[in-house]
């Protein structure tokens, strides 16, 4: 169970326009946002940053979702893993590719550009950070400097979200849990409360 309960959506009517974007893209409103809503300025700042990083720019959204998934795998946040498996699915990443993200260096499912971004995410998310100049040399073969900023911003955004959700034990919503279980056999939500969720049958 969560350490701090999320508010009800009706408690935050000032955010309804932003919440509608979550409905349109994900089909639900994350409990993480409703918990941040106990300090509305934090929720507002986060949603604005999230929009600018994940949904604007020139790096494909599907790649940014996989970068965020890799970051969440490296830090161990099951809540964010479920959410980013779901968003990867929303942006039409196949289940077998979602399942292979951790093994991107050897899997034939990834392009060289995707591998460069995903390896950076894995190395950047660790403690200590093990990114070195060679990682950026590889990135620069595939991405502009502005796009590299976008990729690093995606990693850094999940530095915040991984710590937030893993610390708060945010309760997982059914939809991302179902997608994660379907795409990543053996995955479970752990302390985020969806251990008994089952994958859809169709």
- DSSP assignment of 93-161 equals --HHHHHTGGGTTT-TTS-HHHHHHHHHHHHHHSSS----HHHHHHHTTTS-HHHHHHHHHHHHHHHHH
pLDDT score of 13 = 98
Q: How far is CA 31 from CA 41, 79, 129, 171, 194, in A?
A: 16, 10, 29, 7, 13
Sequential pLDDT tens for the chain (202 residues): 899 999 999 999 999 999 999 999 999 999 999 999 999 999 999 999 999 999 999 999 999 999 999 999 999 999 999 999 999 999 999 999 999 999 999 999 999 999 999 999 999 999 999 999 999 999 999 999 999 999 999 999 999 999 999 999 999 999 999 999 999 999 999 999 763 444 443 3
pLDDT score for 201: 37
Q: Please report the domains of the chain, with CATH numbers, ordered by start residue.
A: 14-190 (1.20.1290.10)
Q: Which two tokens stand for residue 100?
A: 């292979």
Contact 105, 117 (CB under 8 A): no
Please tell me the distance from the alpha carbon of residue 195 to that of residue 42, in angstroms, as a whole number. 29
Looking at residue 58, its pLDDT comes to 98
For residue 148, what are the contacts with CB-CB under 8 A and spacing of at least 6? 136, 139, 140
pLDDT of residue 95: 98
- Is 158:136 a contact under the CB 8 Å cutoff? no
pLDDT of residue 99: 98
What tokens appear for 199 in the block? 């994958």
Structure-derived torsion over alpha carbons of residues 105, 188, 77, 158, reported in degrees to the nearest 10? 70
Rounded-to-integer distance, Cα 130 and Cα 152, Å: 14
Determine the longest span between alpha carbons in the chain, in angstroms: 49
The rounded distance, in Å, linking the Cα atoms of 69 and 122 is 10
Query: Closest Cα to residue 164, out of 32, 1, 38?
Result: 32
Confidence at residue 101, expressed as pLDDT on a 0 to 100 scale: 98
């Amino acid at each position: 169970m969560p350490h701090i309960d999320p508010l009800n959506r009706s408690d935050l009517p000032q955010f309804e326009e932003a919440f509608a974007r979550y409905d349109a893209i994900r089909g639900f409103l994350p409990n993480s946002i409703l918990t941040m809503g106990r300090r509305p300025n934090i929720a507002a700042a986060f949603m604005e940053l999230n929009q600018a990083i994940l949904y604007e720019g020139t790096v494909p959204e599907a790649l940014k979702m996989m970068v965020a998934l890799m970051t969440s795998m490296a830090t161990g946040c099951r809540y964010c893993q479920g959410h980013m498996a779901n968003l990867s699915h929303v942006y039409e990443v196949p289940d077998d590719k979602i399942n292979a993200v951790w093994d991107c260096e050897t899997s034939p499912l990834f392009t060289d550009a995707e591998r460069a971004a995903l390896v950076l995410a894995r190395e950047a998310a660790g403690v200590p950070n093990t990114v070195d100049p060679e990682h950026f040399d590889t990135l620069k073969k595939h991405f502009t400097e502005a796009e590299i900023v976008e990729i690093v911003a995606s990693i850094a955004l999940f530095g915040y979200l991984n710590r937030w959700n893993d610390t708060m034990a945010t309760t997982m919503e059914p939809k991302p849990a179902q997608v994660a279980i379907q795409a990543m056999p053996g995955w479970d939500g752990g302390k985020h409360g969806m251990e008994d969720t089952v994958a859809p049958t169709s």
